[in-house]
């Protein structure tokens, strides 16, 4: 297929047969795709996509064969190997392969591993960054990840490691002491443990926290809570992943910046009282 990308005045990259483009699809809202992602969707023969990539986004590739590669419980590692093997196989068949992943492919998405294997197999690769849930998802909840007068640093952590447990290799004391805003991916399952470690390392249980579920999608929900109450509030709310957790004074800015609420004429929801737990 020729490069049909419609924007003028730019030489859009052409997907070569036998190549794999590893691309971020953003956190959900199709409007958060990059133009490179759209260009790739328009050219691919095959799109190998993950669970968090929506149908609306896949609809941009009507010419492509769609293959679901989302991980189901059980054996994530074996399945990851299967996915990478499949990408190599498709490329060797001479297909233009688009590997589409939620958010950014290099942020907690194992994109680096897939790229290493592909490059090791001699396959031409292009990386297309995407908007990661820990930045774009929070922006849709009115939470800036940095704010000049509040926090000048942000730390992104995963709530579980390759074994499925809270990462033991992480220095939680160091994170508690050195990170102004802590943004946690895949954190719902171990939120109790994570909060306890941060509090034990000196963070206040009263520190504002938010949980943003299905961020940037029509199902987006935001839970306003505190570090100390987070686990109980999540359990009581029945909220389910995917969710981004964030902890830090910057969360308070949401009080005035909840632009989605403002857009429909609602006053931003005031934070719950900061009662000690």
Q: Where are the beta strands (DSSP E) in the chain?
A: 20-24, 46-49, 65-68, 97-101, 125-128, 154-158, 181-185, 208-213, 221-226, 243-247
Minimum distance, C-beta of residue 130 to ligand SAH, in the bound complex (Å): 7
Assigned token pair, 118: 């592909």
Query: Of 57 and 123, which has the nearer Cβ to ligand SAH?
Result: 57
Contact flag: residue 43 with ligand SAH (CB under 6 A): no
For residue 26, the cross-strand partners are 103
Contact flag: residue 241 with ligand SAH (CB under 6 A): yes
DSSP H helical segments within 64-206, as ranges?
A: 76-92, 111-120, 138-139, 172-178, 191-200
Active-site hit among 29, 45, 50, 224: 50
Minimum distance, C-beta of residue 101 to ligand SAH, in the bound complex (Å): 6
Helix axes of 111-120 and 76-92: crossing angle, nearest 10 degrees: 40
Question: CB-based contacts of 27: which residues, under 8 Å, 6+ apart?
Answer: 52, 102, 103, 131, 132, 133, 136, 137, 140, 215, 216, 217
Q: Among positive and negative, which fits the CA dihedral 31, 33, 39, 40? A: negative
Which residue number has the CB closest to ligand SAH?
103
Assigned token pair, 216: 């940037």
Contact flag: residue 103 with ligand SAH (CB under 6 A): yes
Contact flag: residue 28 with ligand SAH (CB under 6 A): yes
Please count the residues of this chain forming the interface with ligand SAH, following the rule CB under 6 A.
Answer: 25
Minimum distance, C-beta of residue 141 to ligand SAH, in the bound complex (Å): 10
Of residues 131 through 190, those in contact with ligand SAH by CB under 6 A are: 132-133, 137, 185-186
Minimum distance, C-beta of residue 27 to ligand SAH, in the bound complex (Å): 4
50 belongs to the catalytic site: yes
Report the C-alpha gap between 71 and 74 in whole angstroms: 9
Report the C-alpha gap between 167 and 50 in whole angstroms: 23
230 belongs to the catalytic site: no
Q: Using the rule CB under 6 A, give the single segment among 86-94, 107-115, 174-182, 249-257 that binds ligand SAH.
A: 107-115
Q: Are 56 and 30 in contact (CB under 8 A)?
A: yes
186 belongs to the catalytic site: yes
Minimum distance, C-beta of residue 131 to ligand SAH, in the bound complex (Å): 8
Among 54, 179, 214, 226, binds ligand SAH (CB under 6 A): 214
Binding site for ligand SAH (CB under 6 A): 27-28, 52, 101-104, 107-109, 132-133, 137, 185-186, 212-217, 241-244
- Hey, which residues are catalytic here? 50, 71, 186
């Amino acid at each position: 297929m020729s490069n049909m990308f419609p924007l003028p005045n730019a030489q859009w990259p052409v997907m070569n047969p036998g190549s794999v483009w590893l691309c971020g699809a953003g956190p959900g809202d199709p409007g958060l795709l990059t133009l490179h992602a759209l260009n790739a969707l328009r050219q691919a023969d095959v799109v190998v996509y993950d669970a968090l990539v929506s149908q609306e986004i896949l609809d941009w590739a009507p010419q492509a064969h769609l293959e679901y590669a989302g991980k189901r419980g059980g054996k994530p590692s074996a399945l990851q190997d299967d996915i990478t093997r499949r990408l190599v196989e498709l490329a060797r068949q001479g297909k233009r392969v688009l590997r589409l992943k939620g958010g950014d492919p290099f942020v907690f998405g194992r994109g680096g591993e897939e790229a290493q294997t592909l490059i090791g197999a001699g396959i031409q690769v292009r990386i297309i960054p995407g908007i990661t849930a820990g930045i774009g998802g929070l922006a849709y909840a009115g939470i800036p990840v940095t704010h000049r007068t509040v926090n000048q640093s942000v730390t992104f952590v995963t709530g579980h490691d390759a074994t499925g447990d809270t990462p033991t290799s992480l220095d939680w004391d160091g994170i508690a002491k050195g990170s102004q805003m802590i943004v946690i991916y895949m954190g719902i399952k171990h939120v109790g443990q994570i909060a306890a470690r941060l509090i034990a390392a000196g963070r206040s249980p009263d520190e504002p926290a938010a949980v943003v579920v299905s961020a940037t999608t029509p199902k987006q929900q935001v839970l306003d809570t505190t570090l100390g109450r987070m686990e109980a509030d999540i359990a009581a709310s029945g909220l389910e992943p995917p969710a981004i957790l964030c902890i830090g004074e910057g969360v308070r800015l949401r009080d005035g910046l909840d632009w989605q609420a403002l857009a429909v004429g609602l006053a931003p929801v005031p934070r719950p009282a900061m009662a000690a737990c």
